[in-house]
A and B are shown apart, each in its own frame.
Chain A
Amino acid sequence: MTVTTPDPVPDPPLTAREELAAAQERLVRALVAGDEPPPGFDPARIAVAARALLNKRAGEVARAWPRLAAAHGARWPAAFADWAAGTPSRGAWLDGWGFARSRRAHLPPAAAAELAGCEAHWSYRPDGPPRRRRVAVGRLPGGVIVQVLGRAVVVRPRRSQLPR
């Protein structure tokens, strides 16, 4: 006896492992990507946990970008969290770099120099790993940074010679 199956063929049921994978992904998205908490979770607690994860990220970024964090003083965790909320981490280095790029015009000299030092060696890409630069010239407070084949030099003209 033949049985005709209706078209389209239904998807096979998810295995227990696949269901768990999907449930874990929904939870992670709620915690770090700004998605709604999955049904059944306490939304208030998920919000507190999401904030705790952002604070932890802020601490890790502060270690990778100490001058950037210092420039914000006690407001650093909140400033970083506001910027990073809803965006999953790309790692402390790239997170800090992305934050610094977003504040480029407002960075105090030490943080601006930290960013310039990074950008003298690496070129930022929003969707992929940074590319190493072979040659770069960048501005930093009071001078320029020149990098050739991995060696960077900061050139600070005397004040009278500063280009306007």
Chain B
Amino acid sequence: MSGVVAPPVDLGVGIGWRPDIAGFVAGLPGLRFTEVIAESVHAAHPADELLALRDRGTRIIPHGVRLSLGGAEPVTVDRVSHLAECAELLDAPLVSEHIAFVRAGGIEAGHLLPVPRTRAALDVLTDNIRRTCAELPVPLAVEPIATLFDWPDQDYDEAGFLTEVLARTDALLLLDVANVYANARNRGEDPLDLLDSLPLERVAYVHVAGGSERDGLYHDTHTDPVPNEVLALVSELCARRDPPGLLLERDGRYPPAGELRAELDAIADAAGLPHVT
């Protein structure tokens, strides 16, 4: 399994598709890939704008947020089936989810929560990833999340835990450089240490997003501009190994189109890629 390498594709720079910016996304002349929140896709009535993107050859990656791969309960058949359905419907090259849990004891947390980096959690996560991969028609990429706190008494550091997850499964890595930045900053660590320790040949694509500081911590909000430090991390990553694609995640408080285009151009410049705007 450790021989898995991300397929050599050239996706360039993309942006996450959201209904509020569907027109902006459709109007990007050089766009070759996008991402859609899987839970927002109604398989029987998908948005026309999404199908239009698919039909013009834009690669669309369904991105799940509620599967709870790191939850102690096994992933449910209906949630995995929905991901598979999205992949078929959108002719997706892969689907992605998070190394996180979102509910426990029947209570929804409302967002992605960190999994304890313990042997027990690693076993559960591995089991859930294998179950999911077995039902998907395409590869699965898993994304390490940004977290404002850590579990006590962990067996692994982040790089060790991620490397072990990838070694035990066929999953690819969705590397979010904004999450890498946020965690390193909030833990007082150097983000480059993580980049230097991860199996970068497993990276399927990369997330880039904005955030802001509040209550003394950096929050990965997806509603603020991308800080220069995150763009610098894009350059650092590309200096080590060019990822197949980089995608901007923006989830609200949308700026004027000009600002969003400038942000996409800044990501392309940081990665040494052509502008898609």
Binding site for B on A (CB under 8 A): 16-21, 23-25, 27-29, 31-33, 39-42, 45-46, 48-49, 51-53, 56-57, 59, 88-89
Contacts and interface: CB of A to CB of B under 8 A. Distances in A.
Interface of B: 71-73, 101, 103-105, 107-111, 113, 116, 118-121, 123-124, 147-149, 151-153, 214-217, 219, 252
Nearest to B109: A28
Contacts of A32: 107-110
Contacts of A52: 111, 148, 219
Given A18-B72, A21-B73, A28-B104, A40 B109 contact: no
B139 to A, nearest CB: 26
Given A17-B124, A20-B72, A21-B73, A56 B111 contact: yes
11 contacts: A20-B116, A20-B124, A21-B105, A24-B71, A28-B104, A28-B107, A39-B152, A41-B152, A45-B149, A53-B109, A59-B252
Centre residue among A16, A17, A28, A39 by max chain B CB count within 10 A: A28
Nearest to A88: B107
A31 B71 CA distance: 16
B107 A48 contact: no
A52 B182 CA distance: 15
A46 B149 contact: yes
Contacts of B219: 52
B72 A17 contact: yes
Centre residue among B72, B119, B151, B215 by max chain A CB count within 10 A: B72
Nearest to B121: A20
A3 B240 CA distance: 65
B111 A33 contact: no
B272 to A, nearest CB: 34
